Structure 1
Amino acid sequence: MRVRQRQKDPVPSHDLPHPRLEIDRQRAEFVDAAVEGRFNRHHLPERSAQLKLSLLFCAAFYVAFGATDVATLGATPTAWLMVALRVLVALAAGACWLAIARRPESVRLAVLSACAVEILGLAVFMVLCWYQPTAMTWNVMSQALILMAIYIAIPNRFVYAVWIAAGSSVVFCAMLLFQGFLKLDDIVALVLLLALGNTLGYIGARRFHLAQREEFRSAILLQQLADRDPLTGCYNRRVLQKGLLDAELARARRYGTALSVILCDIDHFKRINDTHGHAAGDHVLQEFGGLLLAMTRETVDSVVRYGGEEFLVVLPETDLEGARALAERVRHAFGSTGSAVEFGQFVTATASFGIAAVPALYPDAPETPAVLIEAADAQLYAAKRGGRNCVRGAVVTGERLQSMA
């Protein structure tokens, strides 16, 4: 059987064979949510470390500025209430720091922590400003600095930073206008200063987020060039050497799931090259590789150009019966449709398939990929000896073949 979807452990870049790498320039995020999630997971350790440091730094200074409340209001109950509110924000920042330290793998927790501390800190700041209307100049400067921290210093999603910073600026202006202490020149200066702070913060944060994603996209493209066969678009053997099949075997042993591999070979491929030319042979390879990619599960199965006209298909959570059914569908589809070559000619070819499968819930799964590949190769040769254009398969348990299919 073949399971359509599954949860996979974090693995290297070949989990997204054809990702959409467009970047939304306004949101400063990848259009493809899967790529954006992968980007966030890649940068999570660095961003979490920066976020924890920023939380501690901001909390310390937030409390330290309580001295200005006492200096402005005197040692009054209101002043000490302001100090207590500042301490509350610091405690919230400390709680978020602890949560991130305990769950360093959670992107969502890091984002929620950043948003929670920013919103709570700004809400308390509004209360502080309400009780200190005569310190408007210093409060406006403080608001501008807080905006810079939201945009630049505290790692967060760009859109969240924009909404929080812009929303707090609107609330801040409305509060001061409601208090009625401002003259016209003060209002103009206030609006311009906050507009400048938001604009500079927006430009700086957007440029930073876009630059990070551009760098990540370039890395993905370079990785694809290194891992992909340029003719067929399938993986090359370098991906196997990097541990693709090792990881799938380890996963099968850990979760008790089935695992199958299919070794495919185009029959009489040398004859195609000799008769129709190498360009026609390349086109047949492209057609066969494209067929394998189209008939396997994206982000779950892996198709590798193993060498020449041979392809290796890795099928997680697929038993022998499911792998055989897939191989038969591919065999029939490839053999029944010709490959168009130059001058309107069609080349008809067939393929042979050898399958090696590890059953589910079997404690004696092979330790190395070589056992699976050797077993699939033996079955492929059996298919060749059996007249080609057919499928042969076997169950692999431990270091041996158990049964034929």
Structure 2
Amino acid sequence: MFFKQHRYSNIITPTSYLIDLAVINLFSYLLPINLNEPILFHSYISFTWIVLSIKNEFYKIHRYSKVSTIYRKLFTQFVFFFLILYAFIGFFKQPLMSRLALAKYFIYVFLLISFIKFLSYYLLMKYREKVKGNLRNVVVLGANKKTNQLIQVFKERSEFGYNFLKQFQTKTLGFNLNVCFEFINNNKVDEIYCSVSELKNEQIVELINFADNNLKTLKFIPDNKNIFSKKLKFEYYDYIPVLSLRDIPLDDPINAFLKRTFDIFFSLLVIIGLLSWLTPILAILITLESKGPVFFRQTRNGIDNREFYCYKFRSMAPNKNADSIMATKNDMRITKIGKFIRKTSIDELPQFYNVLFGTMSVVGPRPHMVKHTNEYSFKIDKYMVRHFVKPGITGLAQVRGYRGEIEQESDILNRTKFDIFYIENWSMFLDLKIILQTFLNAIRGEDKAY
């Protein structure tokens, strides 16, 4: 019974540290790196690895964590470890160290630690699913859509290791928290999940006090109709606790710097490697079919709702409605070459100049025409949140199928929902994932790419 209920995080995390530190230190002996000061090198990489791991929460993997979370943590950890590794040469003046051997060392360490991390994640999942070990006994207080969905997760995702015991109907006549407390203590419940909307303030306080005094983990399920549905940020102003309704990762200077650096390098790569030779070819094809400029520019709303010129290859015959009416299916304004470049998203490529100049980003909420922004800002709740960050050439909403023409209100509602999720959950890994999905969608073709 001890092995089935015991929590192993206090064993797994230190063990993972020791294994990874052994890997990064032992591999330095297997390759001809030419270490003149091995003690200094081992101390340096061990210390920096631990500091990076703490800062990036590299070993903070929960039972409910997704595989994408592990990918993101690996990416972040090893990007900084790579920079720190090569900084050792210049910082400690080691001209004899082999750069090539150091690169091989980095690759081998990355592959082995990644393998170990995914293997341990998989084995622990299977251990919970098959052996029914490392279980957490849980109860749920409340009966509504959210709580029922959570209970379904507990039952279906056995690899998470949650043993659901009971659901308490808090809205029934004569409901008493003491009955819950007695059940929780008698059945060795580890975690309590409570629907905020179904309890009074005094009941919530009583529940918190019980959990604290009995060493139980208490978690709240938000109600979509109130403040708890937000992504809250807990801060202290001196000793006064303050809740912020929205935490935007790109407000962090380091995150903003990383994203801007990526934007500059990626846009230069596209401009030099692709647009430098593609633009003259398209210019000839566009002007041969219809007279007019090669590029089309349109005023759109960007960060902080500031207006800017968004550039595209011209895909329509010149017309008076270009700035007010979106392209529709079988739109007569679209030229033959325009139909091709719109289908393949080639018409969007000049926006990499916008990215280079800083008015757009590679990934972000798609900018809308000024007319549509003014319209949706009054009709769609939270629509203007999209303008907290720079607009993008592609975005999460686009790769989830909400691109192009807005045919019904649900299209703009879902687009706004995905854009807000992106803004509140930004990471470099998410950007790379969206870019890859955009590339694959462009190859496959999309129904609404017209």
TM-score (norm 1): 0.23
Structure with the bigger percentage of helix:
1
**Larger Cα Rg: Structure 1 or Structure 2?**
1
- Higher relative CO (Cα under 8 Å, sequence separation at least 6) belongs to 1
